[in-house]
Amino acid sequence: MDKFLKLDAEFTQDAKVFKRIMRKIVFKDAITLDSYLSLIKLPLFKKLLYNDFYKSDELRASYEEIVRKETSGVEKMIFQLLCKRPVGFKDIKLKFLFYKEFPDQREYFVNENPTVIFEAQDLLFRQVYFHENVKGKMQNLIQKSPFKHKIFFILAMKNCLSLSFMKDVIFNIKEHQSLIRKEFNLKDSEFFKYWVLALKSLPEKEFYAIVTSEMVYSPFIEKIQLLRAVEDLVSHQKLSLCILKECFNSELPIVRIYVVFLKITEMLCLAYGFKLKLLYSWLRYFLYERQIDLFFDLMGKHEEGKEKRQGI
């Protein structure tokens, strides 16, 4: 090895420094990544890595010997990189350091930490620092991750995900929890708070789409909880129009969907004149369906029920 390092006069001084470092690494396990990648040593290491030094059988054999002697630590990882071997990482911070110093060598970096959190941090780092298109990988990771992680990934990675995917994940989380708990009665739970936080992170159009769907098809108690949770972001007038459109497009029986709409409008703060416009829209809808008698019958029953609830 000494003979090889002295062949090129340009690297003679660097070679002496590198030789001392290697000897220290072989016999001591005290060196850290920070001390190794100092301003003096880093240029040398990069010369060895990016020139033809590593192609020498003699020097490669020296690297291999060091890798065999070192059972763990940063130094072993560094020499594995010189050997063009995969470098495994269990510490995400350490991997970030290697990413920053040797970005074009990242094909050799392998995750040895199987957690989805580690993988998510890794993908996010690559997207932010290297502008890699990791959208597909992130979405696959979120799909296979536990439900308790999905929300946090949505919040952390919303700039890297498609809006349609975020909508689907947020809706599916809600649907999954409803199946487990019969109702999404989680007003006081951390899960519900974070779910609403993820919902609020969506752009306005997607936000209203999910809120509208939940208001129309969820049980009554969930409608109340959701409306209270998003009170600071929602316009009752705009929401009522979105709900009206959803009801008109719904495949539910006309009687059922109309009753649902009337119950929702009671929860919303709407001006009397605006409520009349909504009812006029329903009147035209029933006329189109040739069920005008049913419209007035339902209106009468609704008013009777409303008076009973108010104790009139």
DSSP state, residue 202:
S
pLDDT above 70: residue 141: yes
Strands (E), the chain: 87-89, 109-111
Other C-beta atoms closer than 10 Å to the C-beta of 244 total: 20
Q: Which among 137, 208, 145, 204 has a CA at the least distance from the CA of 176?
A: 145
Bridge partners for 89 per DSSP? 111
pLDDT above 70: residue 14: no
Q: What is the pTM of this model?
A: 0.55
Q: Are 124 and 146 in contact (CB under 8 A)?
A: no
Give, in order, the Cα–Cα distances in Å from 201 to each of 146, 159, 196. 20, 10, 9
pLDDT at 53: 55
Q: What are phi and psi of 195, to 5 degrees?
A: -65, -45
pLDDT at 83: 74
pLDDT at 43: 62
Q: Are 281 and 275 in contact (CB under 8 A)?
A: no
Q: Are 113 and 89 in contact (CB under 8 A)?
A: yes
Q: 3-state SS string over 203-248? A: CHHHHHHHHHHHHHHCCHHHHHHHHHHCCCCCCHHHHHHHHHHHHH
Q: What are 166-203's pLDDT values in tens digits?
A: 777 777 666 655 444 444 444 446 667 767 777 887 78
Identify the residue with better confidence: 94 or 109: 109
Average pLDDT over residues 114-130: 75
pLDDT above 60: residue 303: no
Lowest average pLDDT, out of 7-11, 28-32, 77-81, 90-94, goes to 7-11
Q: Are 17 and 41 in contact (CB under 8 A)?
A: yes
